[in-house]
Structure 1
Amino acid sequence: MVLTVRSVTTVDVDAVLTSLQEADPLWFVAALCLFQGLGIVRSLRWQLLLENVGYTVHGDSRIGSITELTRIIYLGWFANCVTVARLGDVYRCSVLHRSTDADISVTAGTVLTERIVDIAILVVALVATVIVVFWGDVPPAVLQATMIGTGLLIVVISGLLVIDRAGRSFDRWLPSRVQRIYRRVRRGTVDSLDRYPQLVGYTAIGWLFEGMTMYLVGVALGVDLSFGGAFVAALVGVLLSTIPITPGGLGVTEAGIALVLGWVGLDPTAVAAVTICYRLISYWSVVGIGVTVYAIGLWYPISLSVNRRTRSTDQL
């Protein structure tokens, strides 16, 4: 929050409030709906990852499996917004386990794969967009964010290679109980990396939704924000939100978005208005919807079942 306050100290609060009041509600609602559609895209991708490890998910009610998986996705997002260290990802695996009795270690592996693919596509998209938008004059903040993302990508790919290549020999040194858990996490991570075109496609669509949400916020406020600039600001914000030091990147994300928007030429009033509107959608709407989904779950629990494809490693 200190970072956010420092980034808007020169802002005319009255001018920002006026800009927010004059925002086009239809474009704002369009941005909000587009962002919420991201939950469906993430659900389709998670269903694909679960199928890759042998879990075919079925909805036990009329609303279907995708709707129920989307509920779980929102619960995970909500938990990430109110806790640190990305605990929402752990909570999501726990909810699926309680609903279907799917092995929590295997599903944790699929979530780990999500993070690996997310970072890979995010860094590639961010680097490409930065080159186009800031050709020859990359702002230091954007360069630092890109370097952080590249470093994360190197770490996660190296970890995946270690798990894949050395995993079978490494687990022999682990205690028997830890060994079983490790093998299941390894199975969920390595085996879920299948059907690459669909996996990459869902991920790319998700990041496109993020950038378009930022762009539509700019349209709603009537500011001169290019799609390239909006895309860079949104991806930098997402990248900073993955740093598990505040709930949902609160404070850090806003400061990063404000810096990027300033570098693409927006005045301080427009920077503050766009940042506030975007975070109303990407953070506070998730909190509000998450509370609602959680409350609904108290009366209408998530109803899913899975068919398991038998594998020789399932007994490990």
Structure 2
Amino acid sequence: MTTDGRAILDFADRKTLVRVLLGFVVAALVLYLVAVGIGTEDLSRAFADAKLRWLALGCVSTALCLVAWGKAWQVVLEVAGIDEPFRKLVVTYFAATFANYVTPLGQAGGEPFIAYVLSRDTEASYEDSLASVVTADLLNLLPFFSFAAVGMGWLLWQASLPAAVRPLAMGLLVLAVGVPALTIAGWRFRERLARGFMRVAAPVARRTPKLSVEGVHERIHDLGAAFDRIAAEPRALVRALAFSYVGWVFFALPLYFAGQTVGIPIGPLLVLFIVPASTIAGIVPSPGGLGGVEIALTALLIGLVGLTEAEAYAVSLVYRVASYWFAIGLGGLAAIYVISRN
């Protein structure tokens, strides 16, 4: 077995697998109870005339989204001096996405693990991998906020932002202001942050046989150097940002296709707001936000589109099949290939 295959298996210890399985069981129970509360007969009627070709288009859109984000990843890696063939890198990206989607809270903090897989699957150091992954994720936030702002602006112009939706809108506004502010502050005061981290990490390193203060300091220095190399190539970052925008378009389209699947048209501008707003629910402690995203989507579709509970829940389930379960299936196959590659 190659080192890239061991990267997946080393991380997937028994405790992690139990936590993943428990997360899926709890989320499935929540989704079942919601379905029972809405009424299984009403849901069956909502699915009665489903057009699967639209669902297939949603799955294709998800695949294209991951390919575009994988390309943005490659651009950032090239800036860091890591030249990997895209056909190999995109498989690694799919496999890392699978691990991120099945791990509880993976959506809220899976970058260290993705960087671990990337460093084991390529010639990149862990520091270069982590800097590249964090940079690509930050670039993905710009289209996230841009599309949300366009959708929110349209809703406010139409004076159709219900009271029930305002907390999510406020959450998006806080993120839109807070994340860039924290990023700028973190970059400006990165040396102070590094020194503060060392003051905290040094006592721990002295008491841990596998760590040393010098080793931790070297890792922090290498990580800072990796960020500096990436920041020195603004043109490449613009290219990566373009792929991030393309990826976000394909990330949002499955909701439009989900509506078409069950015969309910959802306006593109509404999609631009609903998808980012529902993504906030992805921080719930379940794999890929399972359960939380579906409930948030249902509430948004009821409040903004005027659907019945059964219709909104049906659209939410179809959307998650195309955007989440299909990504897990595709990423799972990629993970198996990564394990058995060569």
TM-score by shorter chain over 0.5: yes
Instruction: Confirm or deny: 8 A CA contact 1:40 1:70 kept in the other structure.
Output: yes
Q: 1:260 to 1:247 in 2, by over 3 A?
A: same
Q: 1:3 to 1:191 in 2, by over 3 A?
A: farther
Which of residues 63, 72, 86 in structure 1 aligns to 2:92?
Answer: 72
Give the alignment of 1:1-316 within 5 angstroms. 1=27, 4=31, 8=35, 11-57=38-84, 65-86=85-106, 88-135=110-157, 136-172=159-195, 174=198, 175-193=213-231, 194-195=234-235, 196-241=237-282, 243=283, 245-263=285-303, 264-301=305-342
Alignment RMSD, CA only?
Answer: 2.5
**1:36-95: per-residue Cα shift (whole Å, max 9, x none)?**
1111101110011111222222xxxxxxx2222221121122112221232643332222
Q: 1:115 to 1:190 in 2, by over 3 A?
A: farther
CA distance in 1, matches of 2:169, 2:258: 23
Instruction: Confirm or deny: 8 A CA contact 1:210 1:235 kept in the other structure.
Output: no
Report how many aligned residue pairs link the two structures.
293
- Identical residues among aligned pairs (%): 20
Return the offset for 1:190: 4.7
CA distance in 1, matches of 2:215, 2:51: 57
Return the offset for 1:152: 3.2
Q: What is the letter of the counterpart of residue 125 of structure 1?
A: F
Instruction: Confirm or deny: 8 A CA contact 1:229 1:261 kept in the other structure.
Output: no
Q: TM-score, normalised by structure 2?
A: 0.77
Q: 1:131 to 1:161 in 2, by over 3 A?
A: closer
Q: 1:152 to 1:3 in 2, by over 3 A?
A: farther
Return the offset for 1:165: 2.1
Q: What is the letter of the counterpart of residue 223 of structure 2?
A: V
**Unaligned runs of at least 5 residues, structure 1:** 58-64, 302-316
Instruction: Confirm or deny: 8 A CA contact 1:207 1:235 kept in the other structure.
Output: no
Instruction: Confirm or deny: 8 A CA contact 1:4 1:252 kept in the other structure.
Output: no
Q: 1:96 to 1:10 in 2, by over 3 A?
A: closer
Instruction: Confirm or deny: 8 A CA contact 1:38 1:209 kept in the other structure.
Output: yes
Q: What is the letter of the counterpart of residue 171 of structure 2?
A: I
Q: TM-score, normalised by structure 1?
A: 0.83
